[in-house]
Structure 1
Amino acid sequence: MILAILQARMSSTRLPGKVLMPLAGAPLIVRQIERVSRAGRIDRLVVATSDQPTDDPLEAAVRREGIAVFRGSLDDVQSRFIGALDAFGPADHVVRLTADCPLADWTVIDATIDAFLAADADYGSNTPAHRTYPKGLDVEVMRAEVLRQAAVEARTPEEREHVTWALHRRPDRWRQAFHSQTAEEGEVRWTVDRPDDYAFVAAVYDALYAGNRAFTSQDVRDFVHSRPDLIDYGGDRRV
């Protein structure tokens, strides 16, 4: 089984509460879940949030959509992932996603998983040293047993907070596979960490969602090209 774990919290330092900010009439995380759920390679999706009271509204919003929730440590995100794996496994592979990517592309998720499986790797992603996909389409995939081993061996705060810190820094230890595209979009910003990021994504949803709930990454590119005011919105490349 392939288990996708979507990590989320309300206490983002740069844009608190962003996961529940509205996009086309629903919370941002709900819109992301809609998109992730179209990935054919994912067998089950669970949202992993913290056990802090500040994340109670997040759990309620996600459960209303019929999505499973696991709650664990706020700061030790790696242990939160292991807890979610224990609660909703057994799984052979784990996909790591983060809840600041409401333009997540299910075709990229599936292609990254396919590349990982074809290579018989321990860890894979679409964000190698030379990334080609926009920030906000990030996907990581790993063997469940490898994630567990990394958690047992973790000693630093970075390993605990960033979950896969050791996996992608130890190619000598873990077999790695990366998925890239031909287009050079590594500097394009579709993630939501700042108010201008949210304003950009809200403009995309306002323009595209009503006409096609399954709008594609190419639809986003075409829309932004039609809006010169959005191309470098907030000082970052948006297309």
Structure 2
Amino acid sequence: MKTIAIIQARMGSTRLPEKILKPLGHLDVLTYVTCRCKQIVGVEQVIVATSTLPQDDVIEEWCDEHNVTCFRGSEDDVLSRYVECAKQYEPDYVMRVTSDCPFVDYEMASEIVTLLGNNPKDIVLLEGKLPRGLAVELISYASLLKIDEAGHESRHREHVTYYAYEFAEQFNGITYKVPNNRRAPAFRITLDTDDDYSLIQAVAEHFNDPLISSVEVINYLRSNPQLANLNAHIEQKPVN
């Protein structure tokens, strides 16, 4: 089973521009994300997929400097960016990762790859709610091509796998049960706003380890509710 991880990344965030290259300790957000993705057992290739806009040239430069493979495609049609990137590798499965999640759970992602390797299906469905910012999505390349052909609404093009959840009856999924020690949906461990950044900076400074277990991050927030409340009021942008 050939699995690749594609990290979608761009500089043009509306709420927090250039967020993915903001510093975290002596590193930066994108370094955290790529380092953690490279730890996922069963993933053969990690690619950063950005847009062809000039403002994203700096991401390609970052990739060259850090020896990370870069692909460039459409800014708004993120689904086509994934498909065109994946075509170069002809994988069996594609893992979707977003670059604004510096503590993405590579340990859980490894278990998800193993689950699908032992039970080949179209997509992995999570049972149990995680903090925002830890999850990955794993979908077959064949299903990604199917979505690309069938998904014409803007929400399908922007959110890559959204069609598979909206029309779940068209796909054969397998369920991964989120471990109890990760079920903390009240926490935001993602980067959309300045308050998110304050929380993530504090976590990064406390551990000073880009490969710290996501479970340790959750436990730290549980033990420090004042820190966890920094971004508790932030609402996720709705899917249109």
The answer to whether the superposition gives a TM-score over 0.5 is yes
Quote the residue 2:93 is aligned against.
93
Q: Distance in 2 between matches of 1:58 and 1:229?
A: 34
Contact 1:78 1:159 in 2 (8 A): yes
Q: Structure 2: 5+ residue runs without aligned partners?
A: 235-240
Quote the residue 1:200 is aligned against.
199
Once the two structures are superposed, what CA deviation does each residue of 1:34-86 show, in whole Å capped at 9, x if it has no partner? Answer: 11111112110101100000101111112211110110000000110011112
1:19 aligns with 2:20: yes
Q: CA deviation at 1:133?
A: 1.5
Contact 1:123 1:168 in 2 (8 A): no
Q: Distance in 2 between matches of 1:139 and 1:231?
A: 22
Q: Distance in 2 between matches of 1:166 and 1:191?
A: 23
Quote the residue 2:105 is aligned against.
105
Q: CA deviation at 1:236?
A: 4.9
Change (3 A) 1:8 1:118: same
1:144 aligns with 2:133: no
1:165 aligns with 2:166: no
69-78 or 160-169, which deviates more: 160-169
Contact 1:109 1:139 in 2 (8 A): yes
Contact 1:112 1:125 in 2 (8 A): no
Q: Distance in 2 between matches of 1:231 and 1:157?
A: 33
Q: Which amino acid aligns with 1:85?
A: A
1:116 aligns with 2:82: no
Q: Which amino acid aligns with 1:196?
A: D
Quote the residue 2:238 is aligned against.
none
Once the two structures are superposed, what CA deviation does each residue of 1:180-210 show, in whole Å capped at 9, x if it has no partner? Answer: 222431222101111111111111111111x
Q: Distance in 2 between matches of 1:101 and 1:38?
A: 15
Change (3 A) 1:125 1:56: farther
Q: CA deviation at 1:223?
A: 3.0
Q: CA deviation at 1:18?
A: 0.3
SS at the partner of 2:7? strand
Q: Distance in 2 between matches of 1:168 and 1:224?
A: 30
Q: Distance in 2 between matches of 1:23 and 1:104?
A: 14
Contact 1:5 1:46 in 2 (8 A): yes
Q: What are the residue-to-residue correspondences of 1:1-239 with 2, within 5 Å?
A: 1-87=2-88, 89-126=89-126, 131-179=128-176, 180-183=178-181, 184-209=183-208, 212-236=209-233
Q: Which amino acid aligns with 1:217?
A: S
TM-score (norm 1): 0.90
Q: CA deviation at 1:151?
A: 0.5
Q: Which amino acid aligns with 1:135?
A: R
Q: Which amino acid aligns with 1:109?
A: A
Contact 1:79 1:160 in 2 (8 A): yes
Q: Distance in 1 between matches of 2:151 and 2:232?
A: 37
SS at the partner of 1:35? helix
Contact 1:188 1:236 in 2 (8 A): no
Contact 2:107 2:213 in 1 (8 A): no
Once the two structures are superposed, what CA deviation does each residue of 1:132-172 show, in whole Å capped at 9, x if it has no partner? Answer: 22110111111101101210122211111111111122221
Length, aligned pairs only: 231
